Amino acid sequence: MRAAQALRALCISRLPRPVSDIFTSKPTSYLRAPHFQTTPYSTSSPQQKLAADMHPHIKRSTAFKSLDDADINHFKSFLEPSQVITDQSEVQPYNTDWMKKYRGQTVVVLRPKTTEEVQKIVRYCNEKKLAVCPQGGNTGLVGGSVPVFDEVVISLTLMNQVRSLDEVSGAFVADAGLVLETADNYLAERGFIFPLDLGAKGTATIGGNVATNAGGLRLLRYGSLHGTVLGLEVVLPDGTLFSNLSTLRKDNTGYDLKQLFIGAEGTLGIITGVSIMAPRRPNAVNVAVLALDSFELVQESFARAKRDLGEILSAFEFWDQAAAEVVHKYVSHVKNPFMEGDRPAPAFGVLIETSGSVKEHDDEKLSRFLESLMEDSIVTDGVVADSETQAKALWGVRESITEGLSRAGAAYKYDISMPVPKLYSAVEDMRERLASKGFFEQGRVARVVGFGHLGDGNLHLNIGGPQYDKEVAEAIEPYVFQWLKELDGSISAEHGLGLHKAEHLHYSKPDRMISIMKQIKDLFDPNGIMNPYKYLPKS
Ligand code: FAD
Ligand code: MLT
Ligand code: ZN
């Protein structure tokens, strides 16, 4: 049976009577799991501007030493030749971020294999006042993972071993450079799940995830890393070790210092090991994708999902028509079930995932829920996956939006949070603003896209155009940040601050908090060598 027929048949058989009427779409063969590219994305183009040129107010600190042959020779004295990369063509991917928006100027990349090697590197850099930039999978979206000037890149990707799994408690300990998907596959084989998932899982590392306090697709179910991380091993800026790979669920002894490194984006130290609570992997997972006519209906379906699906609801993601169109046009292996032939994408798409332990129970709950959405005319169409492969394919419609946007050209990315009822007005308001300036007509802006983690009140507002354009950027910023401040929103819900938002932190945090953050930074890193120019405002 063709996959499309299988899906349709499933919908009819699982959702008796009237519900079958809503599943009128005839999806074609879209059931190929999307693959996130695992080789480095970034190779800089000659046209790509240097991050330093894009931020002319940032000057290279004269307090930092410039790297010379003696430094390289020192690194080579305890690292293998393959761990010290100086060939410029090999260095370039580490200088360029995933979006090809930020380009740094490092001349050396160090690839330690052990915590002791990281300590030796950092101790030396601190003594010599060589600035460093920690890097994991280099999938960060705010320019934090690449150097601005000549900071030494310390890549953690060769530190990628699982250290232990306690199969009773689920406490999982691994090197920071372990790729998220590899960690999850390891856990899956043993009946556990990594409590974080995101579209870049094939490349992002768990150390990078912790350093950015990544949110991802199932925060709704498993909570934030501030709750699931049990302990960390961190090389501090002076080369000493913060050794706290605890596997304890409860530990009320003193300040919980590990929390400072979660979301510090490599400004306080280099995470070398992560201990995290891995829950049991749910054995009954359902994924449904629904079509809706308005954002009000998206909200209504979310409120009902929380009420009617309760404890089995594990993800609630949404996207708008512009987001669906970008995937349809630029990510050919992903097929949107509602866009067969020339059919336009619905105004909004929603992906609902349930995760539980008794399939019949979850199926019944989901069926009843979908039936009620249809009866009350909240959704106009929908499909439910019948297998893991189909579930992955449906997830692909959501997870490929970022990839689609980046293939389409330049994307100005804003990762914001605010009360859910206001969330989509950020997109509408921005569309109006850019239209009023004539940017659409002039072909300088192609689209304003909204999608994200509705369950977390987190919108990804993306403005797409053929290339980065200073005037367009100036029409967006600081306007969007001011807009958020007035709504008590956050200028970064999950991607962090990096280079992009360091100077804008004041839109989300009061001066006193920023000054405490600076004191913490000075306490840990008095020489300021750890990922400089980012995260905290200079002024
Ligand atoms: P990098 O990009 O290498 O680094 C990110 C930051 O962490 C930098 O400041 C770097 O200096 C620091 N860092 C990295 N490793 C360490 C370490 N070991 N110790 C100290 N500091 C370190 N983010 C989300 O939150 N939710 C999403 O749903 C999501 N989806 C994404 C989908 C796509 C397609 C892409 C490209 C990105 C997505 N991201 C998402 C952003 C990104 O993947 C995450 O921020 C991720 O956690 C970064 O991990 P990384 O290993 O690539 O870190
Ligand atoms: C996502 O949720 O897909 C990510 O955070 C990536 C993005 O915002 O582009
Ligand atoms: Zn996200």
Could you read off the pLDDT of 181-220 as tens digits, one per residue? Answer: 999 999 999 999 999 999 999 999 999 999 999 999 999 9
CATH code of residue 97: 3.30.43.10
Q: Among residues 93, 207, 199, 194, which one has the least CA distance to residue 158?
A: 207
Are 316 and 254 found together in one domain?
Answer: no
Among 101, 117, 139, 536, residue to substitute to test ligand 1 (most atoms within 8 Å of Cβ): 139
pLDDT higher than threshold 50 for residue 237:
yes
* 527 found inside a domain: no
**Whether residues 308 and 365 fall in one domain:** yes
Q: Is residue 335 part of a domain?
A: yes
Q: How far is the CA of 494 from the centre of ligand 1 (A)?
A: 10
Q: Is 215 near ligand 2, meaning CB less than 6 Å away? A: no
**For the segment 311-362, what is each residue's pLDDT rounded down to a tens digit?**
999 999 999 999 999 999 999 999 999 998 889 999 999 999 999 999 999 9
Q: What average pLDDT does the chain have? A: 92
> Do the beta carbons of residue 262 and residue 226 sit within 8 Å?
yes
Same domain, 199 and 109: no
75 C-alpha vs ligand 2 centroid, how far in Å? 36
Same domain for 360 and 429, yes or no, is no
| 403 Cα: distance to centroid of ligand 3 (angstroms) | 12
Q: Is the pLDDT of residue 497 over 90?
A: yes
Tell me if 84 sits within 8 A of 58, measured CB to CB.
no
Average pLDDT over residues 108-130: 98
pLDDT of 221 over the 90 cut: yes
Q: What is the pLDDT of residue 163?
A: 98
Given 402, 436, 463, which residue is the final one in a domain?
402
Residue 497 maps to which CATH number?
3.30.70.2740
**Higher-confidence residue: 40 or 446?**
446
pLDDT of residue 26: 38
Q: What's the pLDDT at 340? A: 87
Question: Which pLDDT does position 49 carry in this prediction?
Answer: 86
CB 457 within 8 A of CB 417: yes
**What tokens were used for 178?**
């372990």
Q: Domain range for residue 265?
A: 162-277
Question: Which ligand 1 atom is nearest residue 176's CA?
Answer: 18
Nearest CA to ligand 1 atom 1: 138
> Is the minimum distance from the CB of 199 to ligand 2 under 6 angstroms?
yes
- Supply the residue whose CA is at minimum distance from atom 7 of ligand 2: 402
Instruction: Answer yes or no: do 357 and 419 share one domain.
Output: no
**Cα–Cα distance measured from residue 320 to residue 327, given in angstroms and rounded to the nearest whole number:** 11
Q: Percent of the chain scored above 90 by pLDDT?
A: 89
Tell me how far apart the alpha carbons of residues 379 and 350 are, in angstroms, rounded to a whole number: 10
> Best mutation site among 141, 213, 402 for ligand 2, i.e. most ligand atoms within 8 A of its Cβ?
402
pLDDT for 163-191, tens place per residue? 999 999 999 999 999 999 999 999 999 99
Residue 513 lies in a domain: no
Residues 360 and 467 in one domain: no
What spacing in Å lies between the alpha carbon of 208 and ligand 1's midpoint?
Answer: 5
Residue 33 — very low, low, confident or very high, per pLDDT cuts 50/70/90? Answer: very low
pLDDT at res. 4: 37
For ligand 2, whether the C-beta of 402 sits within 6 Å is: yes
With a cut of 80, say whether residue 374 has pLDDT above it.
Answer: yes
**Mean pLDDT score, 249-253:** 96
Residue ending a domain, among 216, 244, 277, is 277
Rounded distance, CA 20 to CA 263, Å?
Answer: 45
pLDDT at 519 over 50: yes
Number of domains in the chain: 4
Kindly indicate the confidence band of residue 47, based on its pLDDT and cuts at 50, 70 and 90: low
Indicate if ligand 1 lies below 6 Å from the C-beta of 122. Answer: no
> Which residue from 495, 500, 501 has its CB within 8 A of the most atoms of ligand 2, so it is best to mutate?
495
Whole-number Å distance between alpha carbons of 326 and 343: 14
- DSSP alpha helix (H) spans, 238-376: 258-261, 295-309, 321-330, 359-375
- One domain for residues 204 and 223: yes
Please, are residues 290 and 326 in contact by the beta-carbon 8 Å criterion?
Answer: no
Whether pLDDT at 31 is above 90: no
> Are residues 181 and 88 part of one domain?
no
Task: Yes or no: say if 166 and 159 are a contact pair by the CB < 8 Å rule.
Answer: no
Same domain, 501 and 425: yes
**Mutation test residue for ligand 2: of 97, 399, 401, the one with most atoms within 8 Å of CB:** 401
Q: What is the CA radius of gyration of the chain?
A: 23
> Please, which pLDDT band fits residue 92 given cuts at 50, 70 and 90?
very high
Q: Is 317 in the pocket of ligand 2 (CB under 6 A)?
A: no
Q: Is the pLDDT of residue 126 over 60?
A: yes
Mean of pLDDT values over 463-468: 95
